[in-house]
Amino acid sequence: MAPSILDLAPVVPVVVLQDASDAVPLARALVAGGLPAIEVTLRTPVALDAIRAIAGEVPEAVVGAGTVITPDQVTETVAAGARFLVSPGWTDVLLAAMQASGVPFLPGVSTTSEVVALLERGVTEMKFFPAEAAGGTAYLRSLAGPLPQARFCPTGGIGPENAPQYLSLPNVGCVGGTWMLPADAIAARDWGRVEALAREAAELKLRLETLRAQV
């Protein structure tokens, strides 16, 4: 059974690439910084090429596809080498395609009813999106009591300031974010800066655990 994507690292970088040639050095920088799970979103025309390049040249990375909204995208991204799938929302048709893909997936939810509907279908791991706009940590904390079997990767409006609050919740395995991928660093191909920011993000949960132990 494939390991849970929620347990690979405390942060999943959400990557939007404009140039496929940046994919491999960017992925190497993220992995070197301690963030092996990399979500490449299907928001640009080069996304499939980027996934293919990372899958082929950075084997230590666990590359996934984000913003997956159609069954065709499921097929295309898995064929390109995606090892997990992330959607901003879900329908029965999309869910069936993701379940048939053979790779782990995180369907997006933003309401209690959507969570319950997925639990009915045997899905316990989900993306909570857009996290801050949909209620943030208070909302997720309120779900932990009645729905403890559901685990989440919150994404949307999360940065280094509020990520620790999300990661402290019992039903959050990791968070998704872009703060370790500043646009100016990508434009300058400053992979050393990306690696340093990734390392800081990777240490968030460790620092949180240390603080808990001191309480």
Establish whether 127 is a catalytic residue.
yes
Establish whether 200 is a catalytic residue.
no
Name 197's Cβ contacts closer than 8 Å, sequence gap at least 6.
33, 179, 180, 181, 182, 185
From 39, 125, 195, 205, active-site residue:
39
Question: 64 - beta bridge partners?
Answer: 39
Sheet holding 62-66, edge to edge: 105-106, 85-86, 62-66, 37-41, 11-15, 175-177
From 125, 127, 195, 205, active-site residue:
127
Q: Which of 94, 25, 28 shows the shortest CA–CA distance to 65?
A: 94
Q: 């620790």: which residue's tokens?
A: 164
Instruction: Answer positive or negative: Cα dihedral of 121, 124, 16, 63.
Output: negative
Structural contact between residues 178 and 151, judged by C-beta atoms closer than 8 angstroms: no
| Token pair belonging to 127 | 């993306």
Name 196's Cβ contacts closer than 8 Å, sequence gap at least 6.
33
How far apart are alpha carbons 44 and 17 in whole angstroms?
Answer: 7
Residues labelled catalytic: 39, 127
